[in-house]
Amino acid sequence: MRLLLDTTYLLPAIGVSLEGLPRDALIKLIGRGHQVSISDITVFELSAKGGKYITTGALTAERVSRGIRSIVYDERIARIPIHDSSVLIMAFRLKRALSDFIDCLILSSAMSRNEVLVTEDEDIQNLKKRGEFQELLETVNPGFKIQTLMDTL
């Protein structure tokens, strides 16, 4: 299955773990034969999150940089550019339903080239219940799904 992962699942690569989520989620998904991709905006998000931890002394710049490089240079992880016209145009349309434009870019990237967006984000998860979002999916990517990690594993 072609999956796009939300930034949350890549945080362990820079040294950030989240309670309730396995640190090896990315490895498990790849190991199960899924084709994994990320939005280019995820690299920015990882950098910004890493920067917060660096300023508090919880992480070193080298640790964050090494983690980001490990993702960017991993040939098993495809990257979807946010400057792609179809991704941008869809993100602008999604902005009506989602207040966070980074989430719009991630969802749009997923919808453009994947079967599933894996995310824990409640705002994105709640879109599944909205009729106008379902109508949009029917025109763009009818088989597309939004799932949590546990639904995917």
Name the domain count of the chain. Answer: 1
Residue ranges making up the domain that contains 19: 2-152
User: 0.85 exceeded by the pTM?
Assistant: yes
Q: Which residues pair with 117 in a beta bridge?
A: 4, 146
Lookup: tokens for 119: 């995310």
pLDDT by residue for the chain (153 residues), tens digit each? 999 999 999 999 999 999 999 999 999 999 999 999 999 999 999 999 999 999 999 999 999 999 999 999 999 999 999 999 999 999 999 999 999 999 999 999 999 999 999 999 999 999 999 999 999 999 999 999 999 999 999
Question: In this structure, are residues 148 and 118 in contact, taking their beta carbons and an 8 Å threshold?
Answer: yes
Task: Return the CATH number at 10.
Answer: 3.40.50.1010
> Which amino acid appears at position 127 of this protein?
L
Lookup: tokens for 42: 């995820």
Per DSSP, the chain holds a count of helices (H) and strands (E) of 8, 5
Residue 110's alpha-carbon distances to 43, 128, 139, in angstroms, are 15, 14, 15
The beta strand positions in 1-153, using DSSP E, are 2-5, 35-39, 77-80, 116-118, 145-147
